[in-house]
Amino acid sequence: MGMETEPNGDESQPQSRPSILRYNSPLFQVILIGVVCFCCPGMFNALNGMGGAGQVDHTASNNANTALYTTFAVFGVLGGGIYNLLGPRFTLFSGCLTYVLYAGSLLYYNHYHKQPFVVTAGAILGIGAGLLWAGQGAIMTAYPPVRRKGTYISIFWSVFNLGGVIGGLIPFFTNYRRVDAKSVSDGTYIGFMCFMFVGSVLALTVLPPGKVVRDDGSRPSNVKYSSVRVEGLEILKLFLNWKMLLLLPAAWSSNFFYTYQFNNVNGLLFNLRTSGLNNVFYWGAQMIGSIGIGWVLDFSFKDRRTRGFVGIGVVAVLGTAIWGGGLAEQLKYSLDRKPAVLLDFKASGSAYAGPLVLYFSYGLLDAMFQSLCYWVIGALANDSETLSRYSGFYKGVQSAGAAVAWQVDAHKTPLVTQLIINWSLTTIGYPLLALLVALAVTNGEKSEDDDAENKISQHPAVVDSHTLGENTSARPMVNKESQKSMVKEIGALESEAGRKAQETLELAFQISNLMNTGLDRHTLSILISLCERGVNPEALAALVRELRRESSPQQP
Q: Is the pLDDT of residue 547 over 70?
A: no
Average pLDDT in the chain: 78
- Cβ neighbours of residue 242 under 8 Å, at least 6 residues apart? none
Q: Please enumerate in sequence order all residues whose Cβ is within 8 A of that of 260, keeping only pairs 6 or more positions apart, or say none.
A: 405, 409, 415, 418, 419, 422
Q: Is residue 453 scored above 70 in pLDDT?
A: no
What pLDDT sits at residue 221?
Answer: 64
Decide if 141 contacts 395 (C-beta within 8 A).
no
Q: DSSP labels for 97-135?
A: HHHHHHHHHHHHHHHH--HHHHHHHHHHHHHHHHHHHHH
Lowest mean pLDDT among 233-247, 358-372, 522-536: 522-536
Which CATH code fits 22-440? 1.20.1250.20
Rounded to an integer, the average pLDDT of 139-151 is 82
Lowest mean pLDDT among 15-24, 197-206, 310-319: 15-24
Beta bridge partner(s), residue 270? 343
Please report the pLDDT score of residue 31 as a whole number: 92
**Above pLDDT 90, what percent of the chain?**
31
Residue 149's nearest CA partner among 398, 495, 454, 447 is 447
- Cα 32 from Cα 15, distance rounded (Å): 19
Of the candidates 153, 143, 150, 147, which has an alpha carbon nearest to the alpha carbon of residue 211?
A: 143
The fraction of the chain above a pLDDT of 70, given in percent, is 71
In this predicted structure, the answer to whether residue 462 has a pLDDT above a threshold of 60 is: no
Q: What is the pTM of this model?
A: 0.68
Q: Alpha helices, DSSP H only, in 113-241?
A: 115-142, 149-174, 186-203, 228-238
Least confident of 13-27, 194-208, 436-450: 13-27
Tell me which H or E stretch contains 5: none
Mean pLDDT of all residues in 366-382: 90
Which of the residue ranges 283-292, 306-315, 472-481 has the most confident prediction, judged by mean pLDDT?
A: 306-315
C-alpha–C-alpha distance, residues 138 and 33, integer Å: 11
CA-to-CA distance for 425 and 14, rounded, in angstroms?
Answer: 45
CA distance 48 to 172: 14
Structural contact between residues 345 and 359, judged by C-beta atoms closer than 8 angstroms: no
Q: How many CB atoms lie within 10 A of CB 14?
A: 10
Q: What is the pLDDT of residues 415-431, one digit of tens each?
A: 999 999 999 999 999 99
At 231, give phi and psi (nearest 5°): -65, -40
For residue 325, pLDDT over 90 is answered with yes
Arithmetic mean of pLDDT, 468-472: 38
Q: What is the pLDDT of residue 248?
A: 94
- What is the model's pLDDT at position 499? 56
Q: Indicate whether 122 pLDDT > 70.
A: yes
> Is residue 40 over pLDDT 80?
yes
In this model, does residue 468 exceed pLDDT 70? Answer: no
Q: Which range is least confidently modeled, 156-160, 174-178, 182-186, 449-453?
A: 449-453
State pLDDT tens for residues 245-269. Answer: 999 999 999 989 988 998 899 989 9
- Decide which of 71 and 498 is more confident: 71
**Which of 270-274, 396-400, 486-490 is modeled with the greatest confidence?**
396-400
The answer, yes or no, to whether residue 515 has pLDDT greater than 90, is: no
Q: What are phi and psi of 410, to 5 degrees?
A: -65, -25
Give me the residue spans of the domains in the chain.
22-440, 451-551
Of the candidates 193, 232, 260, 274, the one whose C-alpha atom is nearest the C-alpha of residue 389 is 232
Q: Cα dist. 421→130, 413, 505 in Å? A: 25, 11, 48
Helix (H) or strand (E) holding 84: helix 59-86
What is the model's pLDDT at position 229? 76
Residue 6: pLDDT above 50? no
CA distance 60 to 138: 33
φ/ψ bin of 412: left (φ > 0), alpha (ψ from -120 to 50), beta (otherwise):
left
Residue 229's identity, in one-letter code, is R
Flag whether pLDDT at 321 surpasses 50: yes
Residue 467 is predicted with a pLDDT of 36
pLDDT at position 535: 61
Averaged pLDDT, 133-141: 86
What mean pLDDT do residues 343-347 have?
87
pLDDT recorded at residue 120: 93
As a whole number, mean pLDDT of residues 104-124 equals 88
Name the pLDDT band for 504 (thresholds 50, 70, 90). Answer: low
Question: pLDDT tens across 429-438, in order?
Answer: 999 999 999 9
